[in-house]
Amino acid sequence: MKARSDELQIFVCVIECGSISAAAEQVGQTPSAVSRTLSRLEAKLDTTLINRTTRRMDLTEEGKYFFEQAKGILDQMDELEERLSSRQKNPAGRLRINAASPFMLHAIVPHIEEFRRLYPDIQLELNSNDLIIDLLEQSTDIAIRIGTLSDSTLHARSLGCSPLHILASPAYLKRHGTPASVAELAEHALLGFAQNDGLNQWPLRHQHGDRWPIQPAISASSGETVRHLALQGQGIACLSDFMTREDIHTGRLKVLLADANSGYRQPINAVYYRNSQLALRIQCFLDFIQGKLADYASRDFKG
């Protein structure tokens, strides 16, 4: 059986106070309880630490050595607690964040300077992956996921939601015309996704429902690739507001069929493993990025 930290604390306290009775008063125990703790500690170590008589206490050679080591251990524990407390007040340490490239580029990277100014002791590691990753395997603290979640082994925090827009560049519309109805999309080159067929169900109302399935002329695995194809005039795309807001604002992309849009908004969630207490550095980032997404929503426009 190994010595416990509370036993070390009582042993050190007895030596520093000079008597069992004085130590008992300081730790809030009876002298007999303190004496039993010392005896139990000596039994665990199979050695005598203190030679005790009715008048005095003397440390044995083993006791002197153990006292110095125990005091050093307790000092290290105090320092560790102090540093941990400081980290809780001033978030610090490495924070690994994973997100799909479009969200990373358009919703996180533009705000990194401000975040670093607010939390200079957090070391960020930003990783992009357009596929679902294993948080543990990838040593990831937070993963940002767009769309409906299905993994129940993870905690999730909603960061908001993003509208979807049907978009095309002015150059494409000049060459091929602007579709006046959902049905006319069949006459156009449509840009879609290769590895997530759910993203090829556009949020458009029609006589059979409010999701319009498309057959892409060009498919890509990344939303950022689809965005660039749309900017280059290669076709019509359905993309999230968070990655196209600036394109719409500047006129690089035009919103189409707004009246037929069902208003569906993609959920944006931060996921992380279940923990009894969320590290402060994670909490700070989630609060920060949620505020930025709320700012986007408050400045909503149709383009």
Whole-number pLDDT of residue 132: 55
Whether 212 contacts 150, CB under 8 Å: no
What does DSSP assign to residue 4? P
What does DSSP assign to residue 183? G
Any bridge partners for residue 237, and if so which? Answer: 167, 191
Residue 67 identity: F
Digit-coded pLDDT (tens) for 18-37 = 888 888 888 889 989 988 99
What is the 3-state composition of the chain as percent helix, strand, coil, each rounded to the nearest 5?
45, 25, 30
Residue 133 pLDDT exceeds 50: no
Calpha distance 30→132 (Å, rounded): 59
Residue 293 pLDDT exceeds 50: yes
pTM exceeding the 0.75 threshold for the entire prediction: no
Any bridge partners for residue 165, and if so which? Answer: 239
Digit-coded pLDDT (tens) for 161-195 = 999 999 999 999 999 999 999 999 999 999 999 97
Pairing outcome for strands 122-128 and 93-99: parallel
Token pair listed for 74: 């307790």
Digit-coded pLDDT (tens) for 190-237 = 999 997 788 999 999 988 889 999 999 999 989 999 999 999 999 999
Alpha helices in 195-300 (DSSP H): 223-231, 241-250, 280-298
Calpha distance 55→61 (Å, rounded): 20
SS3 94: strand
Token pair listed for 150: 């299905």
What count of other Cβ atoms lies within 10 Å of the Cβ of residue 227? 25
Whole-number pLDDT of residue 276: 40
What stretches of the chain adopt beta strand conformation (E)? 50-52, 57-59, 93-99, 122-128, 142-146, 154-168, 190-193, 201-202, 212-213, 218-220, 236-240, 254-256, 265-273
